[in-house]
Chain A
Amino acid sequence: MTARTAAWFASVVSFGFILIAISGVGLTRPVETASFKLFAPLEAVLRSVASPIADAVTNYSDVRALTEENDRLRSETERLNAEIARLREDGTQREQLERLLAVKNGLADQQFAAAKIFARDPSNLRQAVAIDKGRADGMKKGMPVLTEGNALVGTVTRVEDDHAWITLVTDVDSGVSATILESRAQGVVSGAYNRRMVMDFVSQDSAVRQGDTVITSGIGGSYPAGLVIGRVTGVRGERQDVFRSVTVEPLASLSKLETVLVMTSFVPKKVSQP
């Protein structure tokens, strides 16, 4: 390494660390807010140009995917029909519907703010999206974010004056206390690098099946109880394991979301040590 390069490298890295330090205490917020206002129209133009191309590419690949999906859904329908018959027989379906109704009624008391997603974190290591509502619109850290169909999307993790960042439930840093609706088995749902989720710490003796619904348990106070997280796609764990590991697929396609609902009435609780 030449002396010139070494000096340059030291200066640039130092500059980077200084920026991280001053942004940590909020000193760069005016610059970030100004750049957001300045770049937002440019971003919108780029998105409007790229959107039709992306749609065309997606539609082309969707034709093949739809054919496969169709076949899969046919066999899935058969399986579900058998499942419904069985549920009717043992009365579980009625209980499930009652529980879902209770969840829905619980959400009716909450207040929401609709927000539009305008950017995604470009780092492939993180799953985060930016919404067009910020501190000025009442956004606060820790507020849960849902799809329009009331499935959990993630949590508000960073709030700026006019926009906010949401960490998705599929992010590796996300952890949600969860319950399986059908069996009431409890665990913690966390994200993985393959954009799926894993529910850990599920008791070995709990009955968990593919297709079961995973909802928030409310334990820990970070989320209200009863928000739908996703569906069980697989169960792993040998008899000798203490816990089972359950793979969960998000109910909504998080990569295609355009609008979300922020639960503004919910304030996360800070639970103290017992």
Chain B
Amino acid sequence: MSYYFAIPLLLIAALSEVAVAPMFRVAGLQPNLVLVLLTAWLIARGQNEVYWLIPVGGFLLGLVDGAPLGTAIIAMAPLALLQDVRGSQLREGGPALAIIFIVIMTVVYHVIYMMMFTLRGESANWIQAMTRVVVPTALINAVTLVPVYWFLSLFSHELRRPTYA
């Protein structure tokens, strides 16, 4: 699956995040579609592709969301660091790992956004944000990730084939 497929998919995810996802909000919250897509991509297809896709996805999201351009790139960058936690072997991590990664990344993503808001002088109640926004959003992202990961896995068999050296 090439970048020709990944980049339009990221664009659709970014546009859906501002235009479609708000229609399906649960308790006023919506999934972070670009983050979910990149996390699923990382687990299903490995780190090399994600190195390029994180800046592209962050840039596209920055073009359409309300935050200053560049914020989404910084917020999603730690995703690549998580890959080092599980090692650099290019094999499938499985849906369980993907769910763990999205939960961690949802927290990191929102913490970075809140730091940016604070730096800009906007008010942020950290405790309320964590309990009312970040934790429920992590749950929503985890639920959203399952079908996205399954879909990406269908196209990633060649990357998950075991190698016998």
Contacts and interface: CB of A to CB of B under 8 A. Distances in A.
A42 B66 contact: no
Interface string B116-129: 11000011110011
A73 B57 CA distance: 46
B29 interface: yes
Contacts of B66: 121, 123, 126, 128, 130, 158, 165
Interface string B94-127: 0000000000000000100110110000111100
Given A16-B70, A192-B128, A120 B77 contact: no
A216 B93 CA distance: 54
Given A8-B51, A12-B77, A54 B70 contact: no
A177 to B, nearest CB: 16
A19 B70 CA distance: 5
A5 B88 CA distance: 10
Contacts of B32: 122
A124 interface: yes
B75 to A, nearest CB: 8
A124 B133 contact: yes
Interface string A26-56: 0010011001100100110011001100100
B160 interface: no
B16 interface: yes
Question: Which applies to chain B's interface (DSSP): helix, strand, loop or mixed?
Answer: helix
Nearest to B29: A124
Nearest to B60: A35
A19 B73 CA distance: 9
Given A17-B74, A35-B63, A122-B17, 15 more contacts: A9-B81, A12-B54, A13-B74, A20-B74, A39-B63, A50-B19, A50-B23, A119-B64, A122-B32, A124-B133, A125-B114, A165-B66, A173-B117, A193-B128, A255-B28
Interface of A: 1-2, 5, 8-9, 12-13, 15-21, 23-24, 28, 31-32, 35-36, 39, 42-43, 46-47, 50-51, 54, 57, 118-126, 128, 130, 158, 165, 172-173, 192-195, 255
Interface of B: 11-12, 15-25, 28-30, 32-33, 47, 51, 54-55, 58-59, 61-71, 73-74, 77-78, 80-81, 83-84, 88, 110, 113-114, 116-117, 122-125, 128-129, 132-133, 137
